[in-house]
Chain A
Amino acid sequence: MSTRFINLVLSFMSKSQTNKKVVSVINVSKFYGSNSLDSKKVLSEVNLDIFEGEILAILGPNGAGKTTLINMMLGRLSLSSGEISLLGHQPGNIELKRQCGAMLQVSSLPDMSTVREHIELFQSYYTNPMDYSQVIEFAQLSELESKYSRDLSGGQKQRLLFALSICGNPKLLFLDEPTVGLDISARRSLWKAIIELKHAGTSVVLTTHYLEEADHLSDRIVIINNGKVIKIGTPKEIKSEFNSKTIRFNSDVNAEVFSKLHAVKKVRTQQLANQEIQIEIETSDPINTLKEIFSAELIITDLTIAGAALEDAFIKLNQKSKQHEGDLS
C-alpha cells in the first residue's frame, strides 16, 4: 500500500519534471536470411522512445511486425541491427526482468494450480512484489483465489494472466492483446486498472488491434505496417493530421470550383447515375468552407458533414505508406 502511495505522489511530481525515457529503440531492424538485401525484412529502421508513465499502444495489422518488435524488447528475439535499451539494460537482462511484467497470449495455463498459487509463485521472482490482496483487487479475482486454472472461464483466465503481469510491481508493463476474448464490462474494467497503474507510475506498452482501445487508453500510438513505423503520435495528433471534416453533397456544378474554397485539402468526385456528381470536400476548416459554398448560391442536395475517425486515419495512413513505397520502388 505504501509503495502505491509513494508511486502516486512521485508520478505527480514526475509530471512536472522532464519526461525520462524508459525504453529507447534505435535504428532497429530484423531480417531473416543471409544478407540484408535479398532477405525477408520483418522490421526496418525502427526508432522509438517510450517515456516514463505513459501508455504506448502499438497498432498494426497482422504481420506488420508489432509482435516482432515486442519480442525483441522482451529479449525473445535477437536484433539484426540497431539497439534497444530498457531502463538502462539490454533486453533479456534479469535485473531488467525484475522490473518488468508481461502478459502474453497463452492458450492455457498449467491447469492444476490455483489462482493463488500461480500468483504467489510469480511474486517470488520479484524483489518488491505487490501486495497479494492488491493484485487480486486490480485483476478482479476476488472470488476465484482457490480455483484451479482449468476451472476458469476465458475471461477469468485473462484476468489471471493480467494479475501475473502486475504482481511484481513492474515499472514497465508489456501487454500483448490484453482484452481479446473479454466482454465489454470486463474490457472496461481492465482499461480502468491499466490507467490506474499508469497513474501509479507504471509505463505500459500494449499491442492491440482494437482501435477503440488504443484510442481510449494510450497516450501515444505507434502505427506499424510492413515492418516500418508509419506514424508515432498521440491519438489526437494522429487524428488531427487528418483533422478534416468531410462535406459531402450532390450537385451539377463542376467540381473544380470547390478546390478554390477556403482550407480545402482535397476534393473528390463521383459520377452518379442521374447525371449528378457527388462531391466530397475534405477541409480543416469546415465552417468557413461551408460559408463559402452557401455564399456561392450553388444548387446542393444531400448535404452531410462527417468527422475523421481513427479508422479513417488508419486506413489513410496505410494508403499513404503504400503510395510512398510505390514512389520509392
Chain B
Amino acid sequence: MNKGKVIDPVFDKLNLVKPNLINIYYMEAKTETIRLFRTPGFCIPTLLFPIMFYVFFGILFSMNKATMPTYLMITYATFGVIGPALFSFGVGIAIERGQGWFDLKEVSPMPASAYIISRIVLSIIFSLLIIMLLFSIAAIFGDVRLFHSQWILLAIILILGSLPFCAVGMTLGLFLKSSSAPATINLIYLPMGFLSGLWLPINFLPDFMQSFANLLPPYHLAQLSLKVVEMDIGAPIILHIGVLLLYTLFFMFLAMKAYNKKDKQ
C-alpha cells in the first residue's frame, strides 16, 4: 500500500483526464474581457484618451499637416496600447489582492498561466481596438496613407511591444496596495508617456530630456514603430528591442519574486 496515499479505485476512475487547458484559457479570457467591457471606468479612459488627444494634437491643431497626423498616430497608438497592459495587470491584480479574490483564485485549481494569459489576451484585444480606432480616424480625418504592409507591421509591433508593459503591470500589481494602485499607476503612466515623447514629438523636448527618454520603455516602442515610416530618430533597431527585452525580463523576474514569497501578508 502506498504510504499516506488515499487510493479508492472507484473514486479515482471518476477523475478522468485533466480539464482542457485551452478551455480554461478561453473561459478565463472570456470572463475577464466581458467583465472589463462592462466596466466603463476601464473602457472609456483606455479607449478614448489616446483618441481624444490624437484628434486634438494630431488633426485639429496639428503643427504640420503633412507629417504630424502620421507621426502622432503612431505615438498615440503606442501610448494607447500601454494603457490596457498597465491597468489590467497593475490595477486589476492589486485590487483583487485587496479583495481577497486573488487568494481564492490562487487556492483554486486555476493554473497560474491561465491568469496571466487571460490578461494578456484581454490587453491585446483592447490594444487592437485602440489601434483600429486610431488608424481609422487617422486615415479618414488625418489623410494618413500607408502601404498595407506598413499598417499591418505597425499593428504587430505595437501589440508585441505591449507585452513588456504587461510584465511591468504584473509587478506593480503584486507590490502595490490595492487602495493606492489606480492613483500610483496613473502617476507612472501619464508622465512616462509624456517624457517618452508620446504626446508631443520627442524633438520638442529639451536635449537632456531627450537623452533621459532612452531610459523609458515607451520611448523605445515608439521609436521602433516610427521606423516603419522612417520618422524615427535613427538609432539602431537592436537598441530599442534590447531595452524592451531587458525591461520584460527584469520585471518578469521581479513579479516571480513577489509571487513566490509564500509567507505574504
Let me know if chains A and B touch directly in the complex, using CB atoms closer than 8 Å.
Answer: yes
B residues lining the A interface (CB < 8 Å) = 2, 4-8, 10-11, 14-19, 23-24, 27-28, 31, 34-36, 38-39, 96, 98-101, 103-104, 106-111, 262-263
Is B16 in contact with A127, judged by CB distance below 8 angstroms?
yes
| A117 pairs with B28, CB closer than 8 A | no
A243 to B97, CA, bound (A): 46
CB-contact partner of A125 in B14, B16, B108, under 8 A? B108
CB-nearest residue of chain A relative to B10? A10
A124 touches B5 (CB 8 A): no
SS of A interface (majority): loop
Assembly CA distance A75 to B8 (angstroms): 24
Q: Are B4 and A107 in contact (CB under 8 A)?
A: no
Q: Cβ of B6 and Cβ of A97 under 8 Å apart? A: no
Which residues in A have some Cβ–Cβ distance to B below 8 Å?
A: 3, 6, 10, 20-22, 24, 32, 52, 74-78, 85, 87-88, 94, 97-100, 102, 104-110, 112-113, 117-118, 120-122, 124-128, 148, 161, 164, 168, 171, 174
B34 touches A107 (CB 8 A): no
CB pair B6 A128 closer than 8 Å: no
A85: chain B residues within 8 A (beta carbon)? 4
Instruction: Pick the contact of A76: B2, B24, B262 (CB < 8 A).
Output: B262
Judge whether B15 and A127 touch: CB under 8 Å.
Answer: yes
A97 touches B109 (CB 8 A): yes
Q: Is the CB of B103 within 8 A of A104?
A: yes
Q: Which residues of A contact B18 (CB under 8 A)?
A: 98, 127
In the complex, residue of chain A having the shortest beta-carbon distance to the beta carbon of B28: A121
| Shortest 7 CB-CB contacts between residues of A and residues of B | A88-B5, A97-B109, A112-B38, A125-B109, A124-B27, A106-B100, A98-B109
Known A94-B111, A125-B110; contact A88-B2, beta-carbon cutoff 8 A: yes
Q: A88-B2, A98-B15, A128-B14 are in contact. Are A76 and B103 (CB under 8 A)?
A: yes
* A residues less than 8 Å from B31 (CB atoms): 113, 117-118, 121
- Chain B residues positioned under 8 Å from A20 (CB to CB): 6, 8
With both chains docked as a complex, state the minimum distance between the C-beta of A14 and any C-beta of chain B, in angstroms. Answer: 9
Closest to A73 in B: B107
Chain B residues with CB below 8 A from A109, complex form: 99, 101
Task: Assess whether B99 is in contact with A106, with CB atoms less than 8 Å apart.
Answer: yes
**Does A164 lie within 8 Å of B104, measured CB to CB?**
yes
Residue numbers in B under 8 Å from A110 (CB-CB): 35, 96, 101
Contact B107 A76 (CB under 8 A): yes
Ordered by A's residue number, 16 sampled pairs between the chains whose C-beta atoms are within 8 Å are A10-B11, A24-B4, A75-B107, A88-B6, A97-B107, A97-B108, A98-B18, A98-B109, A104-B104, A118-B31, A121-B28, A122-B108, A125-B109, A128-B14, A164-B108, A174-B107
B10 engages A74 (CB within 8 Å): no
B209 nearest CB across to chain A (Å): 40
CB <8 Å contact, A104 and B107: yes
Contact of B16 among A88, A108, A128 (CB under 8 A): A128
Name the CB-closest residue of A to B41.
Answer: A112
A99 CB contact (under 8 Å) in B15, B98, B107 = B15
Residues of A within 8 A of B39 (CB): 112
What are the residues of chain A within 8 A of B17 when measuring CB–CB?
127
8 Å CB contact of A126 from B6, B10, B19, B103:
B19
Bound CA span A107–B153, Å: 44
CB distance from A42 to the nearest CB of B (A): 11
Contact B104 A168 (CB under 8 A): no
Shortest Cβ distance from A22 into B: residue: B6
Q: Give every chain B residue within 8 A of A128 (Cβ-Cβ).
A: 14-16
In the complex, chain B residues whose CB is within 8 Å of the CB of A113: 31, 34-35
Residues of B within 8 A of A6 (CB): 10, 14
Contact B6 A76 (CB under 8 A): no
Cβ distance A29 to chain B, nearest Cβ, rounded Å:
14
Q: Which residues of B contact A88 (CB under 8 A)?
A: 2, 4-7
